A and B are shown apart, each in its own frame.
Chain A
């Protein structure tokens, strides 16, 4: 399971304040804590005003990379920000994100190729209005995305598909649609990764953490192999380890028993 650490995101208030105040220690600690918890990538999103986003992104990257070698997931919708970031990240990064919007594909694909990046692909088309509702709509968008990435020579295993997980509070079929989408993606693009944030599913409900981690268990069974999460979430790690164990992916239960010894503080 590939964890993308979600915490360094300027749309979160604590991070935004740290960016504005140039609080180096806070960013450093947020990066290090996630890396120590076993994050495979650290998402970095400045989330600030377009006029200063690039400057803030570069500042964040410098601090994060001063404390950890964990690869960066460059999170921005602005091509110039991505372009600047790609030149300062040390390890092969992930780009967050592309979607079926032809303009976005055209502007982002050259960057992806430039450093052989991994890329998150959302199963939606931003140039169209509305979110995809059915599995079929998602698959149609993905077909267009893969047509573009394959034409550019990007291997399928570089692509992390986000099937778009919706809130079960507003649509009680949201879980089923997510699992069906994951199965269809796994079937159609066996080499690609499947990722996504876990928190959408529980939006507007009590005890969200429980819903999130139960979703993870079912999604992993369906074929999800990555997630955008807080990697320090111990109950989530516990669920993940137990899930992999029960799916026969843990020879002699070693991953589970080893994780248990450190009380699941690390993925």
Chain B
């Protein structure tokens, strides 16, 4: 079983799918297989953070994890893996960057979160509606433009105005964001990369 996490971490796509199928045929608990996959994704995230893996590697691992999930899905019926919680994710209004946001989506999803992706250039009310509908306790905002810091600020204010601020933790990320942006906007934390976004969400939930 440890092989599954290794194969995923080494980006051995074809072999991974073969081994997953074999484990399923052998009657291995699909929840356990999924956990192995998650462990592999964590390793990929670490290797990305350390500069050993590139964005395209991260995309590939996401695809592998997704395909693996699709294979496991019919076998998972009735068995719920450990879903850590829900996260609403999106790129703030005025900014259409999607790569970083998509990477965070992959990493959160493989980290055991149920992710509601509201897309890019999302208005504050879009985030608020998604939070209301899902009841998610976490909001992740991506922003790569310094000119869009006010969009983060407005989104935080909208969450406050909707009376949700004390139930929702807000994490921000993207190229130029740092602690000073957290202070300026009233968010809770900033992540340097996709991996730290997962770490922060796990800490805050």
Contacts and interface: CB of A to CB of B under 8 A. Distances in A.
A252 B59 CA distance: 7
A259 B54 CA distance: 13
A44 to B, nearest CB: 36
B102 to A, nearest CB: 14
A251 B54 CA distance: 13
Nearest to A257: B54
Contact of B63 (A252, A253, A257): A252
Interface string B45-64: 00000000010110110010
A90 B166 CA distance: 75
B118 interface: no
A150 interface: no
Interface string A228-267: 0000000000000000000000011110010000000000
Contacts of B11: 252, 254
Contacts of A251: 60
A258 to B, nearest CB: 9
A239 to B, nearest CB: 19
Contacts of A257: 54, 56-57
Contacts of B57: 252, 254, 257
Nearest to B54: A257
A257 B47 CA distance: 14
Contacts of A252: 11, 56-57, 59-60, 63
A248 to B, nearest CB: 13
Nearest to B63: A252
A87 B136 CA distance: 73
A253 B63 CA distance: 13
A220 to B, nearest CB: 20
Contacts of B59: 252
B33 to A, nearest CB: 22
A257 B56 CA distance: 8
Nearest to A253: B56
Nearest to A260: B54
Nearest to A245: B56
A251 B56 CA distance: 9
A155 B93 CA distance: 59
Contacts of B63: 252
Nearest to A252: B60
A254 B60 CA distance: 9
Nearest to B60: A252
A257 B11 CA distance: 12
Nearest to B55: A253
A192 B43 CA distance: 43
A157 B11 CA distance: 32
Contacts of A253: 54, 56
B7 to A, nearest CB: 15
Interface in A187-204: none
Nearest to A250: B56
A257 B59 CA distance: 13
Q: Which of B56, B60, B63 has the most CB of A within 10 A?
A: B56
B10 to A, nearest CB: 11
A72 B54 CA distance: 37
B85 to A, nearest CB: 30
A252 B56 CA distance: 5
A252 B54 CA distance: 10
Nearest to B52: A261
Interface in B140-192: none
B8 to A, nearest CB: 13
A263 to B, nearest CB: 15
Contacts of B56: 252-254, 257
A82 B150 CA distance: 76
A207 B56 CA distance: 33
A251 B13 CA distance: 11
Q: Top 3 A-B pairs ranked by shortest CB distance?
A: A252-B60, A253-B56, A252-B56
Given A252-B59, A257-B57, 14 more contacts: A251-B60, A252-B11, A252-B56, A252-B57, A252-B60, A252-B63, A253-B54, A253-B56, A254-B11, A254-B56, A254-B57, A254-B60, A257-B54, A257-B56
14 contacts: A252-B56, A252-B57, A252-B59, A252-B60, A252-B63, A253-B54, A253-B56, A254-B11, A254-B56, A254-B57, A254-B60, A257-B54, A257-B56, A257-B57
Interface of A: 251-254, 257
